[in-house]
Amino acid sequence: MSAKPHLISHALCPYVQRAVIVLTEKQVPFERTDIDLRAKPDWFLDLSPMGRVPVLWVGGTTLFESQVIADYLDEVTPGSLYPGDPLEKARHRAWIAFASETLNAIGAFYSAPDASAFDARRDALAAQFNRVEPEIAGPYFAGSAYHLVDGVWGTVFRYLDVFDTIADFGLLADAPVARLWRDWIRDRPSDRKAASPDYAERLTAFLKSRNSHIATLV
């Protein structure tokens, strides 16, 4: 990559973390600017047609949408975080999409307004992990090799690290392989670098500020 990429991000955004993971795994130097999504600067809105992070500015070109960015970065750097077989590569992309749906389920979980809705959404979120469970070869998703699908699921598990400090919600109670997978991903240097050092404190403060059931538990 000839131009140094510049990533526009938000400190808590899991989708930004996908790009950071690729850049870290590929040992690509990059710049990162965090913005406040509650007060988006005009220059950011000029760059992002959807008004969302991440945005990647590289070589005078702006890219938006997290998986587009992650895939571009993977394609233009040596090696690949996808398997070589086209069918298996497509399968990985499908389970990356499922991870995005799981992030939506996480948002529904922490936004639940009362205990009844919270319990229902907890069950729905646990079902997401139960569904991916039989797909995991172990220790990583496809065996001993690390791929982008592992990094993306690491952004999912990062929420669980904070949830576990609040209470044992049993989200992985019926997913023992996923529990081990989570541990392997957590030990990856790129996973640790993907989020800011104060991520847990920031997320805890965010949850506490919500007008939702989980705020009463924090």
State the SS3 of the chain.
Answer: CCCCCEEEECCCCHHHHHHHHHHHHCCCCCEEEECCCCCCCHHHHHHCCCCCCCEEEECCEEEECHHHHHHHHHHCCCCCCCCCCHHHHHHHHHHHHHHHHHHHHHHHHHHCCCHHHHHHHHHHHHHHHHHHHHHCCCCECCECCCCHHHHHHHHHHHHHHHHHHHCCCCCCCCCHHHHHHHHHHHCCHHHHHHCCCCHHHHHHHHHHHCCCHHHHCC
Q: What is the pLDDT of residues 72-84, one digit of tens each?
A: 999 999 999 999 9
Q: What is the pLDDT of residues 103-120, one digit of tens each?
A: 999 999 999 999 999 999
**Whether residue 13 lies in the annotated active site:** yes
Report the mean per-residue pLDDT for the chain.
96
Query: Does residue 200 carry a pLDDT above 70?
Result: yes
Proportion of the chain above pLDDT 90, given as a percent: 97
Q: What residue has token string 């587009």?
A: 68
What per-residue confidence (pLDDT) applies to 202? 97
Query: Does residue 193 carry a pLDDT above 90?
Result: yes
What per-residue confidence (pLDDT) applies to 3? 80
**From 1, 6, 13, 199, the catalytic residue:** 13
Of the candidates 136, 127, 135, the residue with the CA atom closest to the CA atom of residue 180 = 136
pTM of the predicted model, to two decimals? 0.96
